[in-house]
Amino acid sequence: MEGKNAVKIYDTTLRDGAQAFGVSFSLEDKIKIAEALDDLGVHYLEGGWPGSNPKDIAFFQEVKKMNFKHLKVAAFSSTRRPHKKVEEDPNIQTLVRAETPVYTIFGKSWDLHVEKALRTTLEENLRMIYDTISYLKRFADEVIYDAEHFFDGYKANREYALKTLKVAEEAGADCLVLADTNGGTLPHEVEEIMEDVKRHVSAPLGIHAHNDSELAVANSLVAVKKGAVQVQGTINGLGERCGNANLCSIIPNLVLKMGIEAIPKENLKKLFYVAHLVAELSGRPHIEYLPYVGDYAFAHKGGVHVSAMKRDTRTYEHIDPSLVGNRRIISISELSGKSNVVEKAKELGFDVDEDSPKVQEILSRIKELEAQGYHFEGAEASFELLVRELLGKRKKYFEFLGFTVMTVKEKDGQIFSEATVKVRVPEEVARSLGHEDPVEHTAADGVGPVEALDKAVRKALEKFYPSLKNTKLTDYKVRILNEQAGTKATTRVLIESSDGERRWGTVGVSPNIIEASWIALLESLEYKLHKDEEGMRAHEEDKDI
């Protein structure tokens, strides 16, 4: 990675990313993320600020025991305090005790911050930068200097901002990282300022951009074009306010679009996994439309798009999604054409020809249902059941005979719902399990009517289909489609279910929210039984081979 076109990736998800609202990584989370980033091929991991909290101190102790293939772990802190010896500054001493191979120090570049935030003189700030870096050079392989608020400082007082960089260079900083801390700098400004900086310092330069103007990725790429050899950012763009530069966009742009070594090209396929891991551990929902790593980054809905992509995927995709570990999604909606239906059917394992009348029948039925309020994006299980029905391949595992739901509020304020359901299974299924009566009539209670229904129908069917016991409802979304109708409005219910190995979505629509939920619940269980039977059939075929 030492070629002239190489750029080092510096990840600060565990420090800067953890400052995002609502994010708090546990020690175990931090270890998992560190391992994933090392596997991805990232060069630096900023583990946190050891002087700020016990969790970061514990992390630095743990990573000493780990053997990384690519990562160098950096501990982060500020320059020494004004008018205090660096040897006596507790933050600096805690940093030294972290014993990381890299120390990253931030200092003030903007005279406003020096005078208003630090409440010291411009000369003392320069001494703070010099003393801290030169002292830490005794203890680490590398000292990286983050010039905080550099671009704002440069625009306010160019001479002083450049002087802070010169002092850091003289003190021995291995890389000078220019930070757009407030995220307000435009790409052409980054370009011009980088050119000027290179005329005054010779140390390697880096970029640390924030996204307050939606330009963090663009500014990072421009900085690289102008000679930056280190890019700092976070996975998924996590960070305070509007976030940091998103490494999940920067890395593939560097490697695939600019031909610049950042991580090994073959490791790009791990990017999707890392993005979703960090989203899961951060407790923040993954943004489905993120470039490269979003679930819908390569989703196609328009019939014209899908038709063209059958001939050449380059018509509507800027890269092959597999390069970053993602996948192509063909969506089904009222905007779909025959190509969508054929491609989606093939994806589900059904061999249909575009000229078959069944394709037009499926398409017409989809458009009819969507006019009623159905929505098959996110409900692919319901779509598969519809295709099965119209192709004559939908097996009837059970028959719904009726349900009753009652909600009770007692004098002490306790409230609960009770549901009774009646279903019938094929007689041969009942007899195979030793049951004479194929009809099951049972009841269950729950906090609300949907939970009560869910528990009751699964209780009834588990007697005949034991594999349903591990099926759980994992998400439940309700949308009112025609609000102007008031309490008579049509309701769409989208539920997500899981059996621990698979996740699938189903949809139900009705003016009655309970019925809409019931439709989605029944389809979820039916889909599970179809998949179980397919799995058993495949297993038997493998045994025969």
Query: Of the given ranges (111-115, 328-332, 460-464), which has the lowest mean pLDDT?
Result: 328-332
Angle between helices 380-390 and 513-544 (to 10 degrees): 70
Q: What mean pLDDT is predicted for residues 110-129? A: 96
pLDDT value at residue 397: 94
Whole-angstrom Cα distance, residue 91 to residue 78? 8
Give the β-pairing of 491-498 and 142-148: unpaired
pLDDT band at 5; cut points 50, 70, 90? low
pLDDT band at 439; cut points 50, 70, 90? very high
285 pLDDT more than 50? yes
Distances (CA, A) of 18 to 94, 114, 146, 215, 281: 20, 26, 18, 20, 11
Angle between helices 338-347 and 380-390 (to 10 degrees): 100
Greater confidence (79 vs 483) lies with 79
Q: Give the tens place of pLDDT for each residue, 183-192.
A: 999 999 999 9
306 pLDDT more than 90? no
- The residues, any chain, with a CB within 8 Å of residue 381's CB and separated by 6 or more, are 504, 505, 506, 523, 524, 527
Across 114-271, the runs of DSSP E, i.e. the strands, are: 142-148, 175-180, 205-209, 230-233
Distance of CA 180 to the CA centre of its chain: 24
Q: What percent of the chain has pLDDT over 70?
A: 92
pLDDT value at residue 350: 77
Greater confidence (1 vs 314) lies with 314
**Which residue segments constitute the domains of the chain, with CATH numbers given?**
8-282 (3.20.20.70), 299-372 (no CATH), 399-544 (3.30.160.270)
Here the tokens at position 318 are 């800027």
Residue 542: φ, ψ to 5°: -65, -40
pLDDT band at 205; cut points 50, 70, 90? very high
Select, from the ranges 125-134, 410-419, 474-483, 513-522, the one with the highest average predicted confidence (pLDDT). 125-134
199 pLDDT more than 90? yes
pLDDT band at 487; cut points 50, 70, 90? low
Here the tokens at position 230 are 């280190």
pLDDT value at residue 337: 60
Residue 168: φ, ψ to 5°: -65, -40
pLDDT value at residue 343: 72
Q: What mean pLDDT is predicted for residues 454-478? A: 90
CB of 6 closer than 8 Å to CB of 229: yes
pLDDT value at residue 295: 81
Beta bridge partners of 244: 210
Q: Please give the mean pLDDT across all residues of the chain.
A: 89
Distance of CA 482 to the CA centre of its chain: 32
Whole-angstrom Cα distance, residue 144 to residue 175? 5
Greater confidence (196 vs 335) lies with 196
Catalytic: 305? yes
pLDDT value at residue 537: 74
CA trace torsion 536, 537, 538, 541 (10° rounding)? 120
pLDDT band at 85; cut points 50, 70, 90? very high
Angle between helices 90-98 and 122-136 (to 10 degrees): 30
Here the tokens at position 372 are 């009623």
Whole-angstrom Cα distance, residue 428 to residue 98? 68
413 pLDDT more than 90? no
Whole-angstrom Cα distance, residue 464 to residue 438? 9
Whole-angstrom Cα distance, residue 248 to residue 238? 11
- The residues, any chain, with a CB within 8 Å of residue 168's CB and separated by 6 or more, are 107, 129, 130, 133, 145, 147, 176, 203
CB of 536 closer than 8 Å to CB of 529: no
| Amino acid identity at 36 | A
Here the tokens at position 462 are 């588990």
Catalytic residue among 305, 375, 435, 539: 305
334 pLDDT more than 50? no
Whole-angstrom Cα distance, residue 195 to residue 191? 6
369 pLDDT more than 80? yes
Beta bridge partners of 420: 404, 443
Whole-angstrom Cα distance, residue 333 to residue 299? 12
pLDDT value at residue 2: 44
Beta bridge partners of 445: 418
pLDDT value at residue 3: 46
Q: What mean pLDDT is predicted for residues 42-67? A: 89
Q: What mean pLDDT is predicted for residues 402-424? A: 90
Angle between helices 122-136 and 158-171 (to 10 degrees): 20
Can you list the alpha helix ranges (DSSP code H) found in 325-409? 338-347, 357-372, 380-390
pLDDT value at residue 186: 98
Query: Using CB atoms within 10 A of its CB, is residue 386 exposed (0-12), middle (13-18) or buried (19+)?
Result: buried
CB-side exposure of 448: number of CA atoms within 13 Å?
Answer: 5
The DSSP code for 237 is: G
Query: Using CB atoms within 10 A of its CB, is residue 530 exposed (0-12), middle (13-18) or buried (19+)?
Result: middle
Q: Give the tens place of pLDDT for each residue, 233-270.
A: 999 999 999 999 999 999 999 999 999 989 999 999 99
The DSSP code for 244 is: B
Residue 404: φ, ψ to 5°: -135, 135
The 3 state secondary structure assigned to 264-292 is: CHHHHHHHHHHHHHHHHHHCCCCCCCCCC
Stated pTM of the model: 0.72
- Beta-carbon count within 10 A of 187 CB: 16
Q: Give the tens place of pLDDT for each residue, 165-176.
A: 999 999 999 999
pLDDT band at 1; cut points 50, 70, 90? very low
pLDDT value at residue 267: 96
